[in-house]
Amino acid sequence: MFHREGFKIIAITFIIVGAMALTADAYITNHLIKYGVQGVALTILVLILQFFRNPKRAVQFNLNEIIAPVDGKVVVIEEVEEKEYFQGKRKQVSIFMSPLNVHVTRYPASGVIQYSKYHPGKYLVAWHPKASEENERTTIVIKTPKFGDILYRQIAGALARRIVNYAKKGDKAIQGADAGFIKFGSRVDLFLPLDCIVTVGLNQKVVGAKTVIATLRDGDE
């Protein structure tokens, strides 16, 4: 299953790869070179297909949990000053996605979209400390029944040149549902209430719509 954002690129890649393979077969007499060109073409196709894959995942809906919005590795867990929306301290959990990860963005919690804004910007490497505030990005805030407002931010990296965001103010967010896509290496930041319990560790690999990122403290459920 492939993400709809990749349909055009996949179709173009099929045409280019097919043309490369047929041209090599027709005009290159050296078998080693011919098979080499065809192998490169096939590798390109496989890489594009794996990048736009969109695995379907059954979600165990839980209002008391925040789940990973993307696949990747946790690179930041810290208390920060969130300046765009909250203008106050929040717990930040950042997940870095390599080009080999699934790049679908999924809603980390159910609720109603309170805020959705696109920001043009730079293309610093996604793990750069200033990427969250200076790179091209979108900021989305979901009003949840248990955690209150939570914020997630899609951030373009050095390779990413297009962020797709489906969340619009007033829309209903469903935990684990498709919320967008970031093309090529990138990152997603979560900004959560200070009193929640973060359940992941630094450098931990997480799976979108599966791994629990945070829960409520005892007595808050």
Catalytically active residues are 186
SS3 51: helix
Distance from C-alpha of 67 to C-alpha of 114, rounded to nearest angstrom: 19
To which residue do tokens 């805020």 refer? 115
SS3 50: helix
Which tokens in the block code for residue 86?
């909250």
- Per DSSP, what are the bridge partners of residue 196? none
Q: Which of 50, 45, 56 has its CA nearest to residue 16?
A: 45
Strand-pair category, 212-215 with 197-198: antiparallel
Q: Which of 65, 91, 58 has its CA nearest to residue 220?
A: 65
DSSP string, 145-157: TTTEEEEEEEEE-
Answer yes or no: are the C-beta atoms of 175 and 109 closer than 8 Å: yes
